Structure 1
Amino acid sequence: MDEKTKQVQVRLTPEMHSKLKGTLALNDRKLVDFFNEAAKAYLTDKSAYEKMIGKILGGK
């Protein structure tokens, strides 16, 4: 039985949604798995997560 019982609404621009969904599909991944992994990484080590996001965003 699936243990996931909560839903989260995420708002992305149509362009970002298409790019993310397409990129994940090319890697045989799902949006739900992407967001679950991001949440788990954030909860596991917030400072490491924020540092990595900072690198991705170019220090913004």
Structure 2
Amino acid sequence: MNYLVVTIVGTPLAILINPRTWCSFCPTGTMQILMYKLGKLLGINKKIDQKVSIA
């Protein structure tokens, strides 16, 4: 059932909005965002945080 929901909801969102749209709803994606913000606030990820551009 979990995979079915991800496929039915995530696929149209990925096609229409953004390939990583499901990550906004997924608990794993939410935890990743929260941990990144906490690391940024505490300065833990200052050395390894870098912006990447695709040319």
TM normalised by structure 1 equals 0.30
Q: Which has the higher contact order (CA 8 A, sep 6+)?
A: 2
